[in-house]
Every structure is written in C-alpha cells, then in structure tokens.
Amino acid sequence: GESVGLHLPTLSVQEGDNSIINCAYSNSASDYFIWYKQESGKGPQFIIDIRSNMDKRQGQRVTVLLNKTVKHLSLQIAATQPGDSAVYFCAESKAAGNKLTFGGGTRVLVKP
Amino acid sequence: DADVTQTPRNRITKTGKRIMLECSQTKGHDRMYWYRQDPGLGLRLIYYSFDVKDINKGEISDGYSVSRQAQAKFSLSLESAIPNQTALYFCATSVDWDETQYFGPGTRLLVL
C-alpha cells in the first residue's frame, strides 16, 4: 500500500557535523513532500518542502533532495547544532488531495 | 505555533467518559485537521475539514467525531473513551491553496 517511511530511527551526530535524514516513499503519484521537526512537548514545525518538479531545494542550513527514480527523499542539515536535536518527520501528498501521509520519524541526537 | 492553540494541553479521563478536545486558530486558514500520534509512530489523520460546511473522515475516524463550529474552531470528541485512545492529539491548519500544515502544541490524553 501507499506508505512513507524512514530508514534510520535514531541518528547521533557530533555538533558541527552535517546530518542526513533519509525517507522512502512508495506512492509514485505523490507530488509534494515536506519535512517537519518536532521538539519534545511541541507540535511538528515546518522545515522545508519540495514539489516533484524539483530535485533539490535549499533553506537556511537545510537542503532537501528528491530522487523520484528510487522514490527517496532526504533532509540535510549543515553544521548541526544542539537545537537541532528533535524528531524529524517526512510527509507526502498528492496535490489534489491535500492530505499528508507521515513517516514514522527519525530522532536526531546532537552530541556536544 | 501560537497561532494554533489547543485546549486542554493535558487530560486524564476514565473509560466510557465523553471528552472534547478543542482547537482554535488565528491564521485565517480554511482547512483544519485532527491527528493522533502514538509513541514511535508518525501522525495519523483522524478527521479533516476544508471549510465550515465540510467534514471528512481520515484513516482512523472510528470512535471519534468532530465539529467545525466556525472557520477558526475545530473540536474533536471521543464519545466513549477507551484506553487505546491514549495518545497525543494534534490539530493543524492550512490555507486552501497551499499544502503546508501548521500544527498546534498538542493535547496529551490518558484514558484509564
């Protein structure tokens, strides 16, 4: 069935290093992808999104890469900081439906 | 996001009780959503509403009902709470032409 999932449940990163969080999706009709960050005790917070007509999009310290051939999405965080410690979710949707399907989440732990 | 508020933030109830979780938003968005989050899992959609006259079931609507009292208010009810409804509940909003969803801080519900 349609699903969005993550390869790594927990990622430990040294402060200052780059982080890469991966996500696989199975619905080839999906055309919108989004990354959320959820800190403890808070709701998910939008980080960055990308549409299927793009393969890369950059924000402030974050880059999202989309490989439609293998249905793979990744989030890169440059110079990871302690404040980046959180659970990260990818989600996907089809434009007409506007319903997001979320993956299970990856916890990022930043070591000082 | 302070533009989306949820009440209560925490709630303990007993099996069989009826409870209501409320969501209010000042973002002026037409679309509102209720999600459930369980430990180690992503968010699952319970119900969503594209405007005041529109209510749609999500993937896990059984045991829940909703009411869209106004554009800014969307409440979730558990008619007869059961222990497996213990979870973290999130409300979200989006504009009708943009798929980014903005989440409230969540309500932690414990059903004994």
What is the reported pLDDT for A100? 84
A75 in Cβ contact with A89 (< 8 Å): no
pLDDT at A97: 61
Structural contact between residues A6 and A104, judged by C-beta atoms closer than 8 angstroms: yes
Query: Do A44 and B48 make contact, defined as CB atoms within 8 angstroms?
Result: no
The answer to whether B99 contacts A103, with C-beta atoms less than 8 Å apart, is no
Q: Please write the tens of the pLDDT for every residue from A23-65.
A: 998 888 888 899 999 998 889 999 999 999 999 999 999 999 9
Nearest to B99 among A4, A32, A36 (CB): A32
Of A49, A98, A104, the CB nearest to B41: A104
To the nearest whole Å, the CA of A25 is away from the closest chain B CA by 14
Residues of chain B found within 8 Å of residue A99, distances taken between Cβ atoms: 45, 48, 58
Q: What is the pLDDT of residue A98?
A: 61
Say if residue A8's pLDDT is above 60: no
Contacts with B27 from chain A: Cβ below 8 Å: none
Give the span between the Cα atoms of A105 and A38, in whole angstroms: 9
d(CA B66, CA B85): 15
Asked whether the beta carbons of A14 and A111 are under 8 A apart, the reply is yes
Q: Does A104 contact B40 at a Cβ distance shorter than 8 Å?
A: yes
Q: Using one digit for the tens of pLDDT, what is the confidence trace for A68-100?
A: 999 999 999 999 999 999 999 999 987 666 678
pLDDT > 70 fraction of chain A, expressed in percent and rounded: 89
* Token pair 């109830």: residue: B13
Judged against a pLDDT cut of 60, whether residue B99 lies above it is answered with yes
Beta-bridge partner residues of B24: B5, B73
Residue A76: helix, strand or coil by DSSP?
Answer: strand
Least trusted range by pLDDT, from A8-12, B61-65, B66-70: A8-12
Using a CB-CB cut-off of 8 Å, the residues of chain A touching B1 are: 43, 45
Read off the pLDDT of each residue in B101-110 and give the average, rounded to a whole number.
95
Question: Residue B100: which of A43, A46, A95 has the nearest Cβ?
Answer: A46
